[in-house]
């Protein structure tokens, strides 16, 4: 009998024993069957893909203007290092402080004619871009188009003969636990292959408005950015983009943009040189449990419309402020992030069916989508007081109220309701709080510390526009509606709150 004291040795013996059993066919398992249930060798798959993965080398000229040169070392006369330092500093002076900064990343060929996909951050601000292939050959690359929102870019090279290319797969078919393989250029080591599984899906790492990352434990390091994440059929199901690492190296938490998002962006960049995303023309916010109860939903789902963009596709209907979007173009909307993604992925000009909840009843409306980029350009040229931002999902936060005693003289507080002192929204209060002329309702002149309103982030200087979808013009209107809600046994009041610029958000304030 052999006694194994070291637990790692015991683990190794178990692994070796398992391998022997698999190899000998013991227990009714053939060698071929044993390979089928494990990761097996991926050499055949990798061999077919390596030539389609490239290293992206970029250079950027930076003008140092002599800055950062620091003091020149004092080298003893006659020292063997004297000539070396003299040549070094002479070259720097002749260069006028202009230097080349190089960086490395990865990419992959999706068309034999020379179309390459990579990350935007790999080639951003580069003066020169080169694609280095597996055989060592190098081709100059030009930028076709880039999308900062998804961190994707498309390049073009002019090859002397057709290139080896790979195709996109459907990332939606991938499941947690599926094997995946990454090929790239980590730390400049081109042609590196790593293997792992999908650890999670739908990750939001706050990298952009369309976060929906695949998380993998396949080793991804600096230099892998822009490289492909393959399924075991050799199809690209993700573009490696980011890692979480305290040390800068792989700790088994890497993220890839899924092809369900990337493929459409890449195709648009190839066709138009830019993205053309669908636009609904609304501003939305998350549906919390409290908001769900107040609008008649059995659970928190969908996205609540907190604003309608001037000049947008639904400016004059059929979607209104306070509607909850629960389905878009036949797809159930889980939350506001999902709505942002599905709208952006939809073609411009397409007529879609949108299912909404209004006044406790579901109904279906039809909307013809606009183009998000057009809305963004319009918003950029329009003052904030006149138009809200164009991007679905952007929620205006409450502006910080001026401290009491500063600025204009403190006006007397009006009726106090739900911990809020309310007063008519007249010219004096507009001037005092800087409230836009387009905002209507009842101004909040103070919020009691520790009150339900304070806990919900409601601030002095904001305006109550509606209570439970009823427009209010006075403190009496607010009080009457709140009283009616209590009489009906409602547990919270659904308030539409506007900040000074008119940005809206919905808040459910407990009535108890």
In CATH terms, are 171-272 and 416-510 the same topology?
no
- What span, in angstroms and rounded, lies between the C-alpha atoms of 383 and 250? 45
Quick one: pLDDT band at residue 385, thresholds 50, 70, 90? very low
Q: Comparing C-alpha atoms, which of 155, 150, 366, 171 is closest to residue 277?
A: 150
Active site residue 225: yes
Q: Specify the pLDDT at position 27.
A: 45
* Residues counted in the chain: 512
Q: Does residue 82 have a pLDDT over 70?
A: no
How do residues 235-292 score in pLDDT, each as one tens digit? 999 999 998 877 778 889 999 999 999 999 999 999 999 999 999 999 888 888 878 8
Active site residue 359: no
- What span, in angstroms and rounded, lies between the C-alpha atoms of 464 and 444? 7
- What span, in angstroms and rounded, lies between the C-alpha atoms of 219 and 144? 29
What's the CATH number of domain 171-272, 2.40.10.10, 3.40.50.300, 3.40.50.800, 3.40.630.40? 2.40.10.10
Q: Does residue 152 have a pLDDT over 50?
A: yes
- What span, in angstroms and rounded, lies between the C-alpha atoms of 393 and 344? 11
How do residues 211-232 score in pLDDT, each as one tens digit? 899 999 999 998 999 999 999 9
Residue 246 DSSP symbol: S
Q: Which fold has domain 278-380?
A: Pdz3 Domain (2.30.42)
Catalytic residue among 121, 199, 250, 337: 121
Using a 10 angstrom Cβ sphere, with 0-12 exposed, 13-18 middle and 19 or more buried, the burial of residue 298 is: exposed
To the nearest whole number, what is the mean pLDDT of the chain? Answer: 80
Catalytic residue among 225, 429, 446, 492: 225
b/e map 494-510, b = 16+ CB within 10 Å = bbbbbbbbbbbbbbbbe
Domain chopping of the chain, boundaries:
171-272, 278-380, 416-510
Quick one: pLDDT band at residue 392, thresholds 50, 70, 90? low
Alpha-carbon separation of residue 300 from 35, 280, 326, 495 (angstroms)? 45, 22, 10, 17
Catalytic residue among 103, 106, 151, 337: 151
Pairwise pLDDT comparison (511 vs 222), residue with the higher score: 222
CATH architecture of 416-510: Roll (2.30)
- What span, in angstroms and rounded, lies between the C-alpha atoms of 389 and 312? 11
């Amino acid at each position: 009998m052999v006694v194994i004291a070291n637990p790692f040795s015991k683990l190794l013996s178990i692994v070796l024993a398992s391998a022997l059993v698999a190899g000998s066919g013991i227990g009714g398992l053939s060698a071929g069957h044993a390979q089928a249930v494990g990761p097996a060798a991926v050499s055949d798959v990798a061999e077919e893909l390596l030539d389609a993965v490239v290293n992206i080398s970029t250079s950027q000229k930076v003008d140092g203007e002599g800055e950062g040169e620091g003091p020149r070392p004092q080298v003893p006369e006659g020292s063997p290092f004297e000539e070396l330092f003299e040549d070094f500093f002479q070259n720097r002076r002749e260069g006028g402080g202009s230097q080349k900064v190089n960086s490395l990343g990865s990419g992959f060929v999706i068309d034999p004619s020379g179309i390459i996909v990579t990350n935007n951050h790999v080639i951003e601000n580069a003066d020169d871009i080169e694609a280095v292939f597996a055989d060592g050959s190098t081709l100059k690359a030009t930028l076709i188009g880039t999308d900062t929102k998804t961190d994707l870019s498309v390049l073009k090279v002019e090859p002397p003969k057709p290139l080896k290319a790979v195709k996109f797969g459907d990332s939606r078919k991938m499941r947690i636990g599926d094997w995946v393989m990454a090929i790239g250029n980590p730390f400049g080591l081109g042609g590196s292959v790593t293997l792992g599984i999908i650890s999670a899906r739908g990750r939001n790492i706050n990298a952009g408005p369309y976060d929906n990352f695949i998380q993998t434990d396949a080793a991804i390091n600096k230099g892998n950015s822009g490289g492909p994440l393959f399924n075991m059929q050799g199809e690209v199901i993700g573009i490696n983009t980011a890692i979480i690492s305290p040390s800068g190296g792989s700790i088994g938490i890497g993220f890839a943009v899924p092809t369900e998002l990337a493929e459409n962006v890449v195709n648009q960049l190839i066709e138009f040189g830019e993205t053309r995303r669908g636009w609904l023309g609304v501003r939305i916010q998350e549906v919390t449990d409290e908001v769900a109860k107040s609008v008649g939903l059995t659970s928190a789902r969908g996205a609540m419309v907190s604003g309608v963009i001037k000049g947008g596709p639904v400016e004059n209907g059929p979607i209104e402020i306070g509607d909850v979007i629960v389905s878009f173009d036949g797809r159930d909307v889980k939350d506001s992030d999902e709505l942002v993604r599905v709208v952006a992925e939809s073609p411009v000009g397409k007529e879609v069916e949108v299912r909404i909840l209004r006044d406790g009843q579901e109904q279906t409306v039809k909307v013809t989508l606009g183009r998000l980029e057009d809305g963004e350009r319009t918003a950029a040229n329009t003052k904030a007081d006149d138009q809200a931002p164009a991007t679905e999902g952007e929620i205006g936060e409450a502006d910080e109220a001026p401290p009491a005693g500063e600025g204009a003289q403190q006006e007397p507080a009006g009726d106090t309701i739900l911990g809020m002192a309310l007063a008519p929204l007249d010219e004096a209060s507009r001037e005092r709080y800087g409230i836009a002329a387009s905002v209507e309702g009842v101004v909040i002149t103070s919020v009691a510390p520790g009150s339900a309103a304070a806990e919900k982030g409601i601030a002095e200087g904001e305006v109550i526009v509606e209570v439970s979808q009823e427009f209010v013009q006075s403190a009496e209107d607010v009080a009457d509606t709140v009283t009616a809600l209590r009489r009906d046994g409602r547990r919270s009041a659904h308030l539409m709150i506007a900040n000074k610029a008119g940005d809206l958000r919905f808040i459910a304030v407990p009535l108890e």
